[in-house]
Structure 1
């Protein structure tokens, strides 16, 4: 064990030297490139609420009966029926915990649902759907006897436009990602399943995320303020909702590996966020014995070669304290008790497809929810010449490889779930895409393709449909066709970052169809940002839909939108540029072949639309953008008064609970606005609130409210802003701070379609405030 510690120290020292020798790292910025030590690891106390107090009391009593070897055993992962399995203590009736992927559906099992991907759920901007999504996921995990669901995902946040796993996450905008993280976590855990938000923290690219023969894993070098205001921000929502586990990441953070980074684990997670649960490593993210234990890691997956007997020895020789191991075991068991898994939790029902077993069906009525989310997360970005909704057409032409299911799951499991070992062999012509690749993929029991659903609808009208799924230049055109639908996609996966945000084959296909069809409708199933400027202004292209990664009901969700059964209401959870170069240094993952590669987040807080605003770049389609089949008017902006007795910093005498200082979650300001459906179609609008905080990006999303309205109906959107929403991270005080000064408030339909503007002011004594200017149009 001493040798392992010394090797880790040498690696850390070499990394630090490499960082200090880099001229691009500003030494005066706190944390940047140098992760400070935070020891000892905080002992979980269970004081966040009465439920945690009870869970900790029971866990401590159980741990007190265990031998050192038994305590160590439950911190170690084993291979077995599940993706991960913890150690058991049979004599005390402590079972192994079953861990399973993925954040959008159980991977590799039968009779389970393939839900929409995280990025698609975020595009709904609908808190109710986010919760119902999490609850349905949790119900399926519970039905299979799975204790821990490995999700939701806010790491990657989505800093890099071509990041391979952005689709698993929930938006590069921390407020939207946080709202999703909180609602999904609460939904999962309301079913009695432990949620494990991941990957904590700063895991923003796939290239060199892990150590290899080339050298150590990449180091994400990020300053203290950016960590708090951007990357850790959405995780706080998950912890606030009681997440009982958290998964640490592969890469290094400020030159310390994520699963032995004491600042991230002991400092931010367990101290600032008051985390009561247990930290589990990503699979193969364990790099040391003593160092990771003392830095705050509580459980290792899957085999834990550095722990086991080695951890027992470390306790016996004093390298790791007995209290630390007691805390590891207590956190794990307290989480088990907290979710009620000690009573009537189903037996593990996870099986290999090659083993005969009794089927366990857990789909329930989830297809209806999947269909609803699929439609709600579909974003209409162009619609001219009354192209959509379709008016019960009698003749349609369908083109493109993405329109139908063309490959079988066992030929290409990365298309529809299963393993992810074949990701590198994905072929663009292999059929419709409902999920991305890797451990975040899911396994549908069936897939309703777009062509399947369109065919059913055409059949109802006794119409005609013609198709060509294979040609780049379909010919001849069908001149009786009322519309030509072209289906393309943009794939992404774990293990590699995207090479491009568009592809020549798909762009050629779209343009070739449009040459011969004056009513060409483009549908893109995309794992993230997809640029469109080679053809978007073509007058024959009348409508464009970003259909995301909608899950197994893909075709039904889309047809509901195409035929107007559901008016589109999705909004873009990212910014689509006119040119890939507009993303600047945030386009590609960093490419470094140094032994200690460094990735410097020099942009700080300025990612996605904040970067476009800062640099004065006009996007093609901005964050929050999305059209529908009606129009909306905004009026009556009312910015209330800042709550009295709102001090500059949270009260230091108030104990921290899980999710951070409780005063950060206090509502301190309420903003209301009226929205009116001024068209002829019932539809939902997402009113979005952007806040101008002093000494911060000019506008930051700090509220959204989705409201369904009939024609002529007016509804009120209410935004409750918390202390955290108005604060910045003070790197000197190491606290969230409310600053003096004037704050701008904008409400509108996107980050650039800002209909109303108001202000409020926080002045001396932190309790006085000025009434807002109301309802001004900018």
Structure 2
């Protein structure tokens, strides 16, 4: 196996994971220790005395009602498509705040640069690139009318099932801390307030609103909290409290977490807001140090005013929360008589950074038989296979989804790069959006593909269809307005779910290429007659409707077409996907749908098959040994297609290393098959693995992963010898060696160092 040592610039980062373990493994300082004050870099910086005087003057003039207006969200009278809005007090010159989701760009109604997912950024192990990434978001946030970015996400990748792993950085506390600090600095360099989230232990979506996460102090401080502490030290303006409980108390009313640790030990001087609808109380929350409730005033509106008037909350507690918000606003120049003008967007610069990050973070997991790069005869005949080969897979779903300026398809990028001298064919392989129902199948006949329903009207179809044999169908409904009701044999196939699972349903699979919303349901249907009823309401703007399906026969035909294309080509590039989103966790670490079978069949037909993975996190790969190469691209942003083409054809060398361990199978992970660790039992989850998160667990348990933390190949083979690490010196190594291969390869490597084992 040609698993050559990859190079890159940041040995110190990875070496510090182990060599810096002495610092990483020091218990939290005792309560009496002098807190470390966070630095306060800021545009329009002012002296602390000036800020204090201005804020004091404002507080004296604010009424109680006005104070509480500043402590909770409200509807935006002129919304820009952002997540939150806090009204200002115009009579006193206090502006409103607009708060936009991140973390891979600015999520508003208008297009923005869709950067690669943070997990891909982290794979570059490059703090300078992380700062550049933050600056793009900071500038665009200001340009798009925003004041606060609800990002970055700092929670560790603890379980590979977590639905938001792509939004964060790593399973490693040290790497996460180093990178998040630079992202925060980059965002705030441009005058946008960064919000680090979700404080703390929000490492899964399943049961996130209520689960009680139990973790020992040592575990907390050596793992999850390190990234938050680094963000505070970098000057983050805001912190978002998590949904879950931490050691028995909701995070947003957890005084040991918010007051004693965050402010007392770390010296945080910004404000703490709740996650959306994560506040559970009035008195307990404000007493614990929660300054702002989002997105409304369920607890911090009228109930807070009543609590002050009734004596259960002292007005000084309200003043303190308001002060923290106003001080931060002033630090960023938002209270100035003449606030700094908002910059213009620079889409070209954003696109350049997006492409640079996608290349730098791409991880070459496997490369056998010189499958990559595609050169010579291998580049002159290429089959592109897979639905995401002709659909841009820009980002994950949920609050992380950004509307890009533009995004090419991988197929178009590969054809452009291959040029006229090459033949680039395409085969679907798997149908994500379905085929029209045959007209002769339905009785009475009905046109259910691209049906238009006028505004204010309702359209209904009731009929039957007959199957000659048992079959497995996937029924799909595409629509533009209110979801149509589709009933099969009396059962509603696409019920509207409650909460975030419905709100954030989607991602790639949630919308068709032309923008229609998509929902799907797979059913085992018996031979015979079935009743079908469809009702669609036009609503105020009219409705477009499609009802489509796939069957065993259509899936077999798609697979056969892909195998034929693979046999006829010299090289195959197969794009595989996994569609992750906020609001739900993964149910399997394998690729969804029929992709495993597709890869097996295509690779059997052509061993020069490269699998490009657009996935959120680690993936099991029972098909691995059949493939020639595997390139991990995660969610690569709007420039992902061109970056992928650059890598496939060897214009650039893959630059990334894994920031998380890929397990060999679903049971061989730190949470394993233990429901107490994940997802929890009876509403209680225990971090029973202790400090052994991620690669630490694999090392401690001597479990061999599929791919270890730090893995990543190069188009160059390097040989090292006589490496030396000097005690007391910098955390790097010296020695000799050489390499042959790609001219752009960086010979620096990263080493994972661990201290000698000693009795404790």
What TM-score, normalized to structure 2? 0.73
Q: Does 1:388 align with 2:372?
A: yes
Q: 1:513 corresponds to which residue?
A: 602
Q: 1:376 corresponds to which residue?
A: 360
**Where do residues 183-198 of structure 1 align in structure 2 (5 Å cutoff)?**
183-198=182-197
**Where do residues 349-748 of structure 1 align in structure 2 (5 Å cutoff)?**
363-392=347-376, 393-405=379-391, 432-470=392-430, 471-473=558-560, 474-477=562-565, 479-503=567-591, 505-532=594-621, 534-538=622-626, 541-583=627-669, 585-586=671-672, 590-591=678-679, 594=682, 597-634=683-720, 637=723, 639=725, 642=728, 670-673=731-734, 677-681=738-742, 682-684=744-746, 687-693=749-755
Q: 2:176 corresponds to which residue?
A: 177
Shift of 1:47: 8.5
Shift of 1:610: 0.8
Q: Distance in 2 between matches of 1:114 and 1:275?
A: 30
More divergent stretch after superposition (45-54 vs 171-180): 45-54
Aligned CA distance change for structure 1 residues 676 and 46 (closer, same or farther; 3 Å): closer
Q: Distance in 2 between matches of 1:686 and 1:255?
A: 46
Between the two structures, name the one with larger relative contact order (CA 8 Å, sep ≥ 6): 2
More divergent stretch after superposition (49-58 vs 163-172): 49-58
Aligned CA distance change for structure 1 residues 298 and 684 (closer, same or farther; 3 Å): same
More divergent stretch after superposition (668-677 vs 196-205): 668-677
**Where do residues 99-498 of structure 1 align in structure 2 (5 Å cutoff)?**
99-155=99-155, 157-210=156-209, 217-343=210-336, 345=339, 363-392=347-376, 393-405=379-391, 432-470=392-430, 471-473=558-560, 474-477=562-565, 479-498=567-586
Aligned CA distance change for structure 1 residues 94 and 450 (closer, same or farther; 3 Å): same
Aligned CA distance change for structure 1 residues 348 and 86 (closer, same or farther; 3 Å): farther
Shift of 1:607: 1.7
Q: Distance in 2 between matches of 1:484 and 1:619?
A: 27
Shift of 1:635: 5.3
Note if contact 1:252-1:258 (Cα within 8 Å) is conserved in structure 2.
yes
Note if contact 2:36-2:266 (Cα within 8 Å) is conserved in structure 1.
no
Q: Distance in 2 between matches of 1:404 and 1:241?
A: 41
More divergent stretch after superposition (325-334 vs 131-140): 325-334
Note if contact 2:95-2:334 (Cα within 8 Å) is conserved in structure 1.
no
Shift of 1:690: 3.6
Aligned CA distance change for structure 1 residues 475 and 691 (closer, same or farther; 3 Å): closer
For 1:149, what is the secondary structure of its paired residue? strand
Q: Distance in 1 between matches of 2:322 and 2:737?
A: 55
Q: Distance in 1 between matches of 2:574 and 2:689?
A: 37
Shift of 1:461: 3.1
For 1:522, what is the secondary structure of its paired residue? strand
For 1:457, what is the secondary structure of its paired residue? helix
Q: 2:466 corresponds to which residue?
A: none
Which of structures 1 and 2 has the bigger CA Rg?
2
Aligned CA distance change for structure 1 residues 348 and 599 (closer, same or farther; 3 Å): farther
Note if contact 2:716-2:739 (Cα within 8 Å) is conserved in structure 1.
yes
Aligned CA distance change for structure 1 residues 143 and 674 (closer, same or farther; 3 Å): farther
Shift of 1:488: 0.6
Q: Distance in 2 between matches of 1:398 and 1:69?
A: 61
Aligned CA distance change for structure 1 residues 290 and 404 (closer, same or farther; 3 Å): same
Q: Distance in 2 between matches of 1:159 and 1:592?
A: 13
Note if contact 1:486-1:522 (Cα within 8 Å) is conserved in structure 2.
yes
Q: Distance in 1 between matches of 2:745 and 2:736?
A: 12
**Where do residues 29-68 of structure 1 align in structure 2 (5 Å cutoff)?**
53-54=48-49, 55-68=51-64
Q: Distance in 1 between matches of 2:737 and 2:59?
A: 59
Q: Distance in 2 between matches of 1:600 and 1:508?
A: 36
Q: Distance in 1 between matches of 2:693 and 2:112?
A: 36
Q: Distance in 2 between matches of 1:334 and 1:522?
A: 51
Match of 2:75 among 63, 73, 79: 79
Q: Distance in 1 between matches of 2:663 and 2:416?
A: 36
More divergent stretch after superposition (269-278 vs 439-448): 439-448
Aligned CA distance change for structure 1 residues 124 and 71 (closer, same or farther; 3 Å): same
Q: Distance in 2 between matches of 1:586 and 1:89?
A: 52
Q: Distance in 2 between matches of 1:385 and 1:306?
A: 63
What TM-score, normalized to structure 1? 0.71
Aligned CA distance change for structure 1 residues 221 and 192 (closer, same or farther; 3 Å): same
Structure 1 unaligned segments of length 5 or more: list them: 1-37, 211-216, 350-359, 406-431, 643-667, 699-740, 744-778
Aligned CA distance change for structure 1 residues 52 and 334 (closer, same or farther; 3 Å): farther
Aligned CA distance change for structure 1 residues 531 and 46 (closer, same or farther; 3 Å): closer
Aligned CA distance change for structure 1 residues 368 and 675 (closer, same or farther; 3 Å): farther
RMSD: 2.8
Aligned CA distance change for structure 1 residues 605 and 433 (closer, same or farther; 3 Å): same
Aligned CA distance change for structure 1 residues 272 and 52 (closer, same or farther; 3 Å): farther
Q: Distance in 1 between matches of 2:369 and 2:37?
A: 63
Note if contact 2:425-2:565 (Cα within 8 Å) is conserved in structure 1.
no
Q: Distance in 1 between matches of 2:572 and 2:119?
A: 27
Aligned CA distance change for structure 1 residues 174 and 582 (closer, same or farther; 3 Å): same
Q: Distance in 2 between matches of 1:447 and 1:47?
A: 38
Note if contact 1:52-1:338 (Cα within 8 Å) is conserved in structure 2.
no
